[in-house]
Structure 1
Amino acid sequence: MSAPTGPAPAGPATGSRARTPAVTARALARRRRREALGRFVREYARNRAGLLGLASLLTIGALALTAPLFVDQAHLTVTGAPGDSYQPPSREYPLGTDNFGRSVLDLIVWGARVSLTVGLLATFVSVTLGTLVGVTAGHFGSSGGLGGRIVSTLLMRVTDWFLVLPTLVLAVALAAVLPRGTGTIVIAIGLTVWPPTARLVRAQTLAVEARPYVERARALGGGHTHVMGWHVLPNVMPVVLAQTTLLVATSIIAESTLAFLGMGDPTTISWGGILESARTAGAISAGIWWYMIPPGLAIAVVALSFTLCGRAVESVINPRLRGQS
């Protein structure tokens, strides 16, 4: 008697069909990210102020990156300056020279490298610290039980303590205690301007934690790390991005202030250091305006450009602000 015939058991084809939904889900996620990025670019392109700030930053950044190609580093030293001291602006020196005969234009272009680097690194330290504190405090404050609420309260009280302290005074104190150098300035600024980011991220975290899909993730057994890393952090990143662009301007101004007060590295050239050298050399009383005004304008232009970019990003992220941009 022959065995009954029937459909052959599913082999590798079944596994292939089982893997199809996962591949489709990943492709769908990538497509949604591309669409979201395209919407962001289109909305940002409608903001003229944001485009102006972005163009200004790209130009200044390009000059800073390519400075070694057209600025002779030997001419930036005190002993290797080619010109005479305090020459007014001319064809050879468009922004004049300083008290050592160095070109002020070369100093400003080279100083952009240090000022932008310190501003970006200090902002990275500040935003990273503020995001970690804000996400942790918001998550455990809403779903961590009694112990979590205690951790959240302690973190926010520390944040409030840093928030009420004068930022400049604290930065000067840290810069005076630590060894002088560019790294010290980065740490001093990064450890003093993070509290506003922490409070902003905490508020956004509390809003995300109240959404239904986060509650479902907890019900399915998602732990604290899973919820914070996969559900909370991606949803607070737009706010963090907008806060980052705004903090870079604050960090650059803080670096210039510390350098102007003599807390920076005297061996490096930065915009604040140029202002401090001009003040020490008596450029204000001597009427050497080309030594004081250009570095101040450079600081103002970069700070304004980052602020314009930050406001534009904020208006794209928050639809209620689009009509006000």
Structure 2
Amino acid sequence: MTAVSEALRKPSASSLRWRLRRESWGRTWRQFRSNRAGMVGLIVLAVFALIAILAPWLANAEELRASNATGPLLAPPSPEYPLGTDDNGRSVLTLLIFGSRTPLLVGLTATIISMVIGTVVGIAAGISDGWFGAILFRVTEWFIVIPFLPLALVLATLLGGSLFSIIVVIGVTGWPSTALVIRAQTLSVRERPFMERARILGAGRWHLMSKHVFPNVLPLVFANTTLTVAGSVLAETTLSFLGFGDPTAVSWGTMLNSAFSTGAVSLGAWWFLLPPGICVVLVVLAFTQAGQALEDIVNPRLKEGR
């Protein structure tokens, strides 16, 4: 009975694995909390995320329609309109609140697409020998040397100006840098002793990729994801500012486009121009600070080199 009870009390392999993962996540969170810049970035992102989620309760969506606007044109900030009005008499604060949804949605969704493509291509290029790995590496290099903006503008023109097409454009054009980073990490992982033991025991390429390589590159994927979101948000703002965004969706980029189109700079309507620009800068900096904090945890040598 004693042996049976001890066997029952002995944790299973899956429970032990999950306990080790929880302990690892706990250590990561404690290290992240000790990084002040990373915590500030996380708090800023949480504020913008809450604003985007609670937008229907913070402002009236009917005021987004120009036909429903009742305010004066390009009026400066006042008690009734804390951030003034735009060229259609709409509240800039209302536009700013609802405009936070598009860049965050596009940035996160496009980043998921680019990270999936980059991770798969990077692991496959790093684990494969011969012509297949060489072709994947050359294709990645070919994509990375093409200037992003011209390629994105061409794809946006071909696919149209819908929100879905913008997500696809940014996701498809944003994966090469991730693929190079993951490939380099995969090349490092494949030379470790446990990989050699797995090969000797007869593990196939798919088993090596899914069971050994992917868990070891996953922390780097998470860190790189946070940094990639910043670039995706900036890309969405750039495309919308240039007029290639969704004309039916309110975003900070379309606000900047409208401000420049109506001559807000020459008219001195700073309240129409500065708020969306400041929001873009804050979100990009917040994602960058949080991503760098995660990078310092994943690769402490980067922190020593700064």
TM-score range (shorter-chain normalised) is: over 0.9
Cα distance in 1, alignment partners of residues 2 and 195 from structure 2: 35
Instruction: Name the aligned partner's letter for residue 131 of structure 1.
Output: T
The Cα shift of 1:138 comes to 0.4
Per-residue CA shift, 1:113-168, capped at 9, x if unaligned?
Answer: 11100010111111111001000000113xxxxxxx10111111111111110001
1:152 and 2:133 matched: yes
Structure 1 gaps of 5+ residues are 1-11, 142-148
The Cα shift of 1:221 comes to 1.6
1:225 and 2:175 matched: no
In the alignment, what sits opposite 1:311?
A: 292
Over the matched positions of the two proteins, sequence identity in percent amounts to 47
Q: 109, 112, 123: which is aligned to 1:124?
A: 112
1:235 and 2:216 matched: yes
Query: How do 1:38-53 residues align onto structure 2 when only pairs under 5 Å count?
Result: 38-53=26-41
1:60 and 2:39 matched: no
Counting matched residue pairs gives 306
In the alignment, what sits opposite 1:214?
A: 195
Instruction: Name the aligned partner's letter for residue 87 of structure 2.
Output: N
The alignment yields a C-alpha RMSD, in angstroms, of 1.8
In the alignment, what sits opposite 1:174?
A: 155
Cα distance in 1, alignment partners of residues 60 and 15 from structure 2: 51
The Cα shift of 1:13 comes to 11
Cα distance in 2, alignment partners of residues 37 and 90 from structure 1: 47
Q: TM-score, normalised by structure 1?
A: 0.90
1:165 and 2:165 matched: no
- Residues 153 and 19 (structure 1), Cα distance of their counterparts in 2 relative to 1, 3 Å cut: farther
Cα distance in 1, alignment partners of residues 179 and 303 from structure 2: 25
The Cα shift of 1:31 comes to 1.8
1:107 and 2:117 matched: no
Q: 61, 64, 72: which is aligned to 1:84?
A: 72
Q: 222, 241, 254: which is aligned to 1:273?
A: 254
Cα distance in 2, alignment partners of residues 323 and 215 from structure 1: 31
* Structure ID, larger Rg: 1
Give the SS at the match of 1:79: helix
In the alignment, what sits opposite 1:247?
A: 228
The Cα shift of 1:84 comes to 1.1
The Cα shift of 1:89 comes to 0.8
Structure 2 gaps of 5+ residues are none
Structure 1 range deviating more: 80-89 or 301-310: 80-89
The Cα shift of 1:18 comes to 7.5
The Cα shift of 1:179 comes to 2.2
Cα distance in 2, alignment partners of residues 251 and 83 from structure 1: 34
Instruction: Name the aligned partner's letter for residue 209 of structure 2.
Output: M
Cα distance in 2, alignment partners of residues 214 and 151 from structure 1: 20
Instruction: Name the aligned partner's letter for residue 226 of structure 1.
Output: H
In the alignment, what sits opposite 2:184?
A: 203
The Cα shift of 1:281 comes to 1.4
In the alignment, what sits opposite 2:22?
A: 34
Cα distance in 2, alignment partners of residues 128 and 97 from structure 1: 41
Cα distance in 2, alignment partners of residues 308 and 116 from structure 1: 16
Q: TM-score, normalised by structure 2?
A: 0.95
Cα distance in 1, alignment partners of residues 186 and 102 from structure 2: 34
Query: How do 1:277-296 residues align onto structure 2 when only pairs under 5 Å count?
Result: 277-296=258-277
The Cα shift of 1:219 comes to 1.4
In the alignment, what sits opposite 1:8?
A: none
Cα distance in 2, alignment partners of residues 257 and 319 from structure 1: 33
Cα distance in 2, alignment partners of residues 82 and 70 from structure 1: 19
Cα distance in 2, alignment partners of residues 95 and 324 from structure 1: 43
In the alignment, what sits opposite 1:194?
A: 175
